[in-house]
Amino acid sequence: MRRRKAPDISSQRRRCRWRITSTGRRCEIDDGAQLVNAAHSHGDLLVATMRDQLQNTMRAFEMTLFALKSGGPAPINLDMTRLRETPPASTPEISKQLELVVTTWGPFKKSMSDLIRSNGSDVQIESRIAQGQQFV
C-alpha cells in the first residue's frame, strides 16, 4: 500500500491568507449582524468589545487590500502585531481586480463605520442585515 503525503497545511494557509474574496466581506457582515444582536440583548461591555473587534478586522482587511494592490506591509494577524512585506500586484489583470475591490470597499466601509458609530442600533442598517441585503 502506498502512503499518501499529508497536505502541507501551513502553505495552504499562507496561500489562502493572501487571497481577497468575498469571505472577508462575509465575515464583516456577520460581525455587523452580531453587533446589532448584542446591542439589543446584551450590555454595553459586549457591544464595546464587538465594536473593537470589528474595527480591527476592518483595519486589517484594508491594510491587506492596499498592500496587495500597491505593495507594502500586510498584517498576518488581526491584532496587526505581525506584518509581512507584500509585493505589488504582478499583472494588470490582478491590479484591475484589486481596483474593483477598492471601489467596492469604500461604500461598504462607510456602512460598517456607521454601524459601529451607532453601537449596532442603526435601524436602516439593522433592517438590511435582517433582510440579508448588502451594505453597498
* pLDDT value for 124: 67
pLDDT confidence tier of residue 134, bands split at 50, 70 and 90 = low
* pLDDT value for 72: 95
* pLDDT value for 36: 60
pLDDT digit string (tens) for 3-38? 444 444 444 444 444 444 444 545 555 666 666 656
Q: Is 104 left (phi over 0), alpha (psi -120 to 50) or beta?
A: alpha
% of the chain at pLDDT higher than 70: 52
Choose from 81-85, 103-107, 132-136 the range with maximum mean pLDDT: 81-85
* pLDDT value for 91: 92
Rounded to a whole number of angstroms, the distance between the first and last alpha carbons of the chain is 54
CA pair distance 135, 102, nearest whole angstrom: 15
pLDDT(115) > 70: yes
Q: Tell which wins on pLDDT, 104 or 22.
A: 104
Residues 6+ apart with CB under 8 A from 25: 108
Beta bridge partners of 86: 72
Element at 45 (helix H, strand E): helix 44-70
Catalogue the long-range contacts made by 81-89 (C-beta closer than 8 Å, 24 or more residues apart): 86/18
